[in-house]
Structure 1
Amino acid sequence: MHAPSTRSEHDLLGDRDVPSEAYFGVHTLRAVENFPITGTPISVYPELVHALATIKQAAALANYELGLLDSERCDAIVAACEELRDGNLHDQFVVDVIQGGAGTSTNMNANEVIANRALELLGHRKGEYQHLHPNEHVNIGQSTNDVYPSALKVATYRGILGLIDAMAYLRAAFEAKAEEFAGVLKMGRTQLQDAVPMTLGQEFSTYAVMLGEDEQRLREAVSLLCELNLGATAIGTGITAHPQYAPLVMKKLVEISGLPLVTAANLIEATQDCGGFVQLSGVLKRVAVKLSKTCNDLRLLSSGPRAGLGEINLPPMQAGSSIMPGKVNPVIPEVVNQIAYEVIGNDLTVTMAAEAGQLQLNAFEPIIAHSLFKSVKHLRNGCITLADRCVKGITANPERTRATVENSIGIVTALNPYIGYANATSVAQEAHATGGSVYQIVLDRGLLSKEQLDQLLRPEMLTTPQPITLTRAP
């Protein structure tokens, strides 16, 4: 005789048939039907599943210690949570990432999966909730309104640590190139016009410095996520929870997670406030803006190969055109640019969702979660991809860069202290009108000797501050 393909479960709205092999239950089933929005389940963010399991495990241990959960059920719940934290059963987290209900569907998806796996461990069948119930046992002393935002913060914290590591990896790639290109002289540009000389190494070092600054800003912002409202239950008053539950569950959570988490000083405020998410999202936008600017520079500097700047060569990754033979495009910087645009848009979504909170709860944290997780994941992948498939393979064209310096009118700026602004302006005008070199015009006018010019226009003199030792020409 074949086992039945469904089992019957009951909720507020009545009875429903759930697939017999499913670890989720009727609440999750209804959520899947109610929110056919993106087609993307919450399992796409394993860090969220991991965080939910960590919190449920801490709750079970706290409630056992408080005498609210017997040892047999506690052990089964803990074992199920540890399986989830090991990466098992993530495919059972099937609720859409965008959902109504302030995350209740996600919380119940976790409660049901944990309960049904715990039932199996106790020797029962899925759905035999009289032995261990998703609400009565897995969810003791909890509400979606404290579990969901706490899980979101824990998951985001871990994600940010991964992003910081990826940014450090990219920074190291830029630092290596800055050292490699330290002796490559080139023209700096402001407003896309010739400015003054610099080295390609100096240019690449700025990209490393920008990343390092943003790593620090992320560390500062993510520290705000360490304050949780766990124990707040519905609105922050802690109703249905044991008086000692909040400090105890936090103690257990810190022990399990190893993260520097603390209980918010005011649980009512913490339950409705999304300021930490807004702050973090703003920093992610900052990272995206600066990373995109860096990619714009790489695309400009490598433009050509003959009709553009052509100062650097990006490693060829793929054929660039279906019609133009031999064309190679800067596809890696381009994809990182697009990640940046997405992150900037996500920041607006987080901003509006946080602003839309009303009274004691923000019902829009699912879209905040989806937006933050996307931003963090895509920025991390983008940094690693940019380092491995672009920056590490960049080469310089030193002959071309030096030629632009020698032919540039911009080097006249370096002669300002020695020939005066008026003379420098006149030399620049003549060079521009005739196509002549600044070097030759200054020499022909007798403004400086050949020895003086050769000294002043050495690369090290052009790219760093120098004491003025020559007498200014009249």
Structure 2
Amino acid sequence: MSYEEEAEKYYLKTGLKFPFSLIKSISLIKASAAIANKELKLLDSEIADAIVKISLMLANGEFADEIRVDVFQTGSGTGINMNINDIISRHASKLINKNVHPNDHVNMSQSSNDVIPSAIRIASYLEAKDVLSNLAKLLNVLYEYSEKYKDFIKPGRTHLRDALPVTLGQEFYAYYEEFIKDKQDLEYAMNQILEIPLGGTAVGTGINSHERFKELAIKNLKEFLNIDIKPSKSLMRPMKLLSDLILLSSVYKKIAIDLWKLGNDIRLMFSGPNTAIGEIDMEINLAGSSIMPGKINPVTVEAIMQASSEILGLDNANSYISLLGEFELNMGNPSVIYNISLQSLLLNESLKKLTEVVLPSIKPLRERMKMLAFSSPSLITIFSPLIGYEKAKSLYERIKNGERLEDVAKDLGLDEKTINLITDINILVNPGIPILKGKKIESNK
């Protein structure tokens, strides 16, 4: 009976499967190790070549139905390591009609304790590359929209209450700048997980591996992956600690929070059409209700916000997982890679849908935005430098009750030229003190 068949009795049976990125990473480690052991004359050439061939087939998606162990298994990830050892052993043995042992040959110079911590970092890096690419595409669109809508005046809101005017372009640019910071944070986190413990074997000391195994195996692995992996100075560190992966998870959380915030702002601007904000329309050709004909909802935005919430929860789970295990080995390797892979998947899909579906569907209702901006009682703020906070506060109610800003200005004794200047909405969305650009009057008028 194979290891994976025996393991079914002891591991959970949730039906949850490991991401392909992990299977690929482990398989390439097996191929790299076999080449290194062959070079070191520790492994028969024919057996080594067979291991490499089957490992590369596995890394390309073959034999996927033979991955049987559940995600929720032993915390070291021995289950998935042994499952892959068995698959390679079986098919390599058939290939050369010679016994290829899963432990003595496929797992030579390795332990689950260095293979799996190495593989989960490689897999996380590979998936993060896609997130980085999709983040870059979003940035291009956000910048484009910040320019496209830089003259679209709308009301600013704080505490969901009327504030001073802003432009739609300014709002898009704020998110553009934030996602730039997210991209920088992601690049930093990705760089941290490039340090792997391959060669550390059981406890980080490298026992039962050749002195040159680490160097050769990692060189081979770099060639397969074309990424700049390197051995950690302390091989023990990434075996016992998941802190670098928790950093990546936290960056994913940060991106998810920013997606949630942007999604919620879009959702609120789309609220209505007649009884709420209604500053934008969206081209959505999907029924929003099974009972209310014609009702359209921001369905993709809501899907993104749900995905973002899930990413936050997974990050919280990862924090607890990182606490598992004592001394030389963490006990949360299988679940942390499952969670990080799911975070990557949710982020990739959310970023793509936001960039390709949500943002292009937005149709700003420019005249309504401008009308709402001019009706904000907070416009009285522009008179504060002239008449003081207290007197300006007393005028707030007049605009709130529907009086025009121009009429309030006339009552303060301002001439038409000054009124036109200080009520120029384009001036109000830029730095400066509008009232000082016009005619000064006595504050007691």
What is the TM-score when the length of structure 1 is the normalising length?
A: 0.89
**Residue matched to 2:339:** 371
**1:342 and 2:310 aligned:** yes
**Residue matched to 2:168:** 200
**Matches for 1:2-41 after TM superposition, within 5 Å:** 16=1, 26-41=2-17
The answer for unaligned runs of 5 or more in structure 2 is none
Q: Structure 2 vs 1, CA of residues 317 and 73 (structure 1 numbering), >3 Å: closer, same or farther?
A: farther
Contact 1:144 1:234 in 2 (8 A): yes
**Residue matched to 1:282:** 250
**Residue matched to 1:112:** 86
**Matches for 1:424-439 after TM superposition, within 5 Å:** 424-432=392-400, 434-439=401-406
**Residue matched to 2:296:** 328
Structure 2 SS opposite 1:328: coil
Contact 2:422 2:438 in 1 (8 A): no
In structure 2, what is the Cα distance between the partners aligned to 1:213 and 1:392?
Answer: 23
The answer for unaligned runs of 5 or more in structure 1 is 1-15, 17-25, 125-129
**For 2:370, which of 402, 426, 438 is the aligned residue?**
402
**Matches for 1:162-241 after TM superposition, within 5 Å:** 162-241=130-209
**Residue matched to 2:25:** 51
Q: What amino acid is the match of 1:136?
A: D
**1:451 and 2:417 aligned:** yes
In structure 1, what is the Cα distance between the partners aligned to 2:244 and 2:3?
Answer: 30
- The alpha carbon displacement at 1:35 in A equals 2.8
Contact 1:284 1:375 in 2 (8 A): yes
In structure 1, what is the Cα distance between the partners aligned to 2:28 and 2:361?
Answer: 41
Q: Structure 1 residues 451-460 or 358-367, which shifts more?
A: 451-460
**Residue matched to 1:263:** 231
Contact 2:111 2:202 in 1 (8 A): yes
Structure 2 SS opposite 1:460: coil
**Residue matched to 1:85:** 59
Structure 2 SS opposite 1:461: coil
In structure 2, what is the Cα distance between the partners aligned to 1:351 and 1:216?
Answer: 22
Structure 1 SS opposite 2:157: strand
In structure 2, what is the Cα distance between the partners aligned to 1:35 and 1:167?
Answer: 37
Structure 1 SS opposite 2:350: helix
In structure 2, what is the Cα distance between the partners aligned to 1:40 and 1:240?
Answer: 33
TM-superposition CA deviations, 1:237-270 (whole Å, max 9, x none): 1111112111221122112211111111112233
In structure 2, what is the Cα distance between the partners aligned to 1:178 and 1:306?
Answer: 27
- The alpha carbon displacement at 1:228 in A equals 0.7
Contact 1:107 1:148 in 2 (8 A): yes
**For 1:72, which of 30, 43, 46 is the aligned residue?**
46
In structure 1, what is the Cα distance between the partners aligned to 2:423 and 2:84?
Answer: 68
Q: Structure 1 residues 224-233 or 92-101, which shifts more?
A: 92-101
Structure 1 SS opposite 2:185: helix
Contact 2:421 2:437 in 1 (8 A): no
- The alpha carbon displacement at 1:423 in A equals 3.7
Structure 1 SS opposite 2:309: helix
**Residue matched to 2:278:** 310
In structure 2, what is the Cα distance between the partners aligned to 1:56 and 1:391?
Answer: 44
**For 1:121, which of 91, 95, 99 is the aligned residue?**
95
In structure 1, what is the Cα distance between the partners aligned to 2:323 and 2:285?
Answer: 43
Q: What amino acid is the match of 1:121?
A: L
**Residue matched to 2:240:** 272
Q: Over aligned residues, Cα RMSD in angstroms?
A: 1.7
- The alpha carbon displacement at 1:174 in A equals 2.2
**Residue matched to 1:10:** none
Q: What amino acid is the match of 2:17?
A: P
**For 1:139, which of 107, 112, 121 is the aligned residue?**
107
**Matches for 1:380-399 after TM superposition, within 5 Å:** 380-399=348-367
- The alpha carbon displacement at 1:297 in A equals 0.7
Contact 1:418 1:471 in 2 (8 A): no
- The alpha carbon displacement at 1:418 in A equals 4.2
Q: What amino acid is the match of 1:119?
A: S
Q: Structure 1 residues 452-461 or 285-294, which shifts more?
A: 452-461
- The alpha carbon displacement at 1:352 in A equals 0.8
- The alpha carbon displacement at 1:319 in A equals 0.8
- The alpha carbon displacement at 1:389 in A equals 1.9
**For 1:295, which of 233, 251, 263 is the aligned residue?**
263
In structure 2, what is the Cα distance between the partners aligned to 1:28 and 1:50?
Answer: 18
- The alpha carbon displacement at 1:199 in A equals 0.7
- The alpha carbon displacement at 1:207 in A equals 1.9
TM-superposition CA deviations, 1:383-426 (whole Å, max 9, x none): 10122221111110001100011211122223333444344223
What is the TM-score when the length of structure 2 is the normalising length?
A: 0.95
Structure 2 SS opposite 1:34: coil
**Residue matched to 1:465:** 431
**Residue matched to 1:9:** none
Q: Structure 2 vs 1, CA of residues 232 and 248 (structure 1 numbering), >3 Å: closer, same or farther?
A: same
Structure 1 SS opposite 2:8: helix
Q: Structure 1 residues 363-372 or 29-38, which shifts more?
A: 29-38
